[in-house]
Amino acid sequence: MRIGILNSGGDCPGLNAVIHGVVGAASKLGWEVIGFRDGFEGLLPPGDYRVLDPEDTVGIMKLGGTILGTTNRGDFASKVGTHDLSAIADSIVEKAKRTMDQLEIRALIVVGGDGSLSTALHLYREGFPVIGVPKTIDNDLQATAMTFGFDSAVNCVVDALDRVHTTAMSHKRVMVVETMGRSAGWIALWGGIAGGANVVLIPEIPFSYEKVAQCILDRESKGYLSSVVVVAEGTQLPEDEQCEPGELNSHENRFGGVGDMIAEKIQQLTGKETRACTLGHLQRGGAPTSLDRILGMRFGVKAVELAREGAFGQMVSYEAYHVGSVTIEEAVHQVRKVDPQGEVVKTARAVGISLGDC
């Protein structure tokens, strides 16, 4: 029996732990694992792959990135931006099928986020024996309570905030730190709470510049001369609220940059020197945390179990401390957003963090 694994879309700390889990569990069953390079592109004839022996995966768990390479572009990209879906050409599907047949791949484990899992679903519907494994630092897939990579990204934000606090204090400045997360505020909210932010702005909660400025000035009147504002990259600016429902706001298609705009406005309204800092891909790089290593490995082992059961079209999921599975169909196209009335938001408010709204 031979199975394949590929990771697709943006990289994410913990991908190598998944590979480690898959190869370990498969070798116990006497199966051979083929690792396709650079996502689905590796499926194109003649096939770009390497055989993964257990020895190849020794020590990879602690490495960031992925030993297989990945891409979120190319012939299989089914999702380009938030609203852009493109069909995969039949000729491309046929070519991938040829590679699968030639290599006698009996199960294909696809490790990816919403876009890559949409591609996986497409291939499953075309008869590919696909098993999905959810991956995204954004933690925004509806069908799983958590994805590996999220904890590492949050830790990066916390580390950055620890540093930003000290320079903000020295200069009595406002520092605005922009995090990733696309249209969900998980990284900003968790990172902001754990890193002691004073204001956290997320896409799920509309904010007003005046409230943010008020919070900063209130702090100043109490003797706190610096403030740290965390802003999720997908946060909607107040000026974008004029958009019709479903219409793109001015920055939605180019995540990154909203922090600069908010910093400028804060400086105008408070008269305080304000600097912006975009964390960007720092949040995706580097070694995974222990939580992400374990979660990734558990996901990999579960994926092999699903392959053994022939449970194709399923995606590994995590719910209530248990690794189980759901159909890939249930998992895709449903962004899991922060609940504005939820317990984590309430926690933030309870400890005095402003969400920019009240």
Active-site positions read 138
- Closest residue to ligand F6P in the complex (CB): 180
- Cβ nearer to ligand F6P, comparing 132 with 181: 181
Q: Are 307 and 1 in contact (CB under 8 A)?
A: no
How many angstroms separate the CA atoms of 326 and 331, rounded? 7
CB closer to ligand F6P, 190 vs 255: 255
- Residues in contact with 81: Cβ distance below 8 Å, sequence separation at least 6, in sequence order: 252, 253
Look-up: residue for tokens 């509309």? 206
> Is 181 near ligand F6P (CB under 6 A)?
yes
Choose one: 36-44, 96-104, 175-183, 238-246; the region binding ligand F6P (CB under 6 A). 175-183
How would you list the strands of the sheet with 199-201, edge to edge?
Answer: 199-201, 227-232, 174-179, 274-278
| Contact (CB, 8 A) for 306 and 25 | no
Cβ proximity to ligand F6P: between 37 and 284 the closer is 284
| Least spacing, CB of residue 283 vs ligand F6P, in Å | 7
- Choices 23-31, 132-140, 303-311, 330-338 (CB under 6 A): range interacting with ligand F6P: 132-140
Count of positions on this chain that bind ligand F6P (CB under 6 A): 12
Does position 138 interact with ligand F6P (CB under 6 A)? The reply is yes
* Strand partners for 210: none
182 interacts with ligand F6P by CB under 6 A: yes
Q: Which of residues 214-253 bind ligand F6P (CB under 6 A)?
A: 233
Q: Which listed residue (135, 219, 284, 293) binds ligand F6P by CB under 6 A?
A: 284
Q: With beta carbons less than 8 A apart as the criterion, state whether 325 and 312 touch.
A: no
**In which residue are the tokens 């925004």 written?**
140
Does position 72 interact with ligand F6P (CB under 6 A)? The reply is yes
Residue (of 134, 8, 132) closest to 70 by Cα position: 8
Q: Computed over its alpha carbons, how large is the radius of gyration of the chain?
A: 22
Give yes or no for a contact between 75 and 40, defined as CB atoms under 8 angstroms apart.
yes
Residues 10-29 that bind ligand F6P (CB under 6 A): 10
Smallest separation (angstroms) from ligand F6P to the CB of 227: 25
Give the pairing of strands 2-7 and 274-278: unpaired
**CB closer to ligand F6P, 67 vs 282:** 282
Block residue for tokens 């997908």: 234
Which three-class secondary structure state does DSSP give residue 183?
Answer: coil
**CB nearer ligand F6P, residue 20 or residue 182:** 182
- Minimum CB–partner distance for residue 291 and ligand F6P (Å): 18
Query: Residue 78, interface with ligand F6P (CB under 6 A)?
Result: no
Quick one: tokens of 44? 């194109």
Does residue 180 belong to the site contacting ligand F6P (CB under 6 A)? yes
**134 or 300, CB closer to ligand F6P?**
134
Cα angle 67-44-284, degrees, rounded to a multiple of 5 = 30
**Binding positions for ligand F6P, rule: CB under 6 A:** 10, 72, 113, 136-138, 180-182, 233, 255, 284
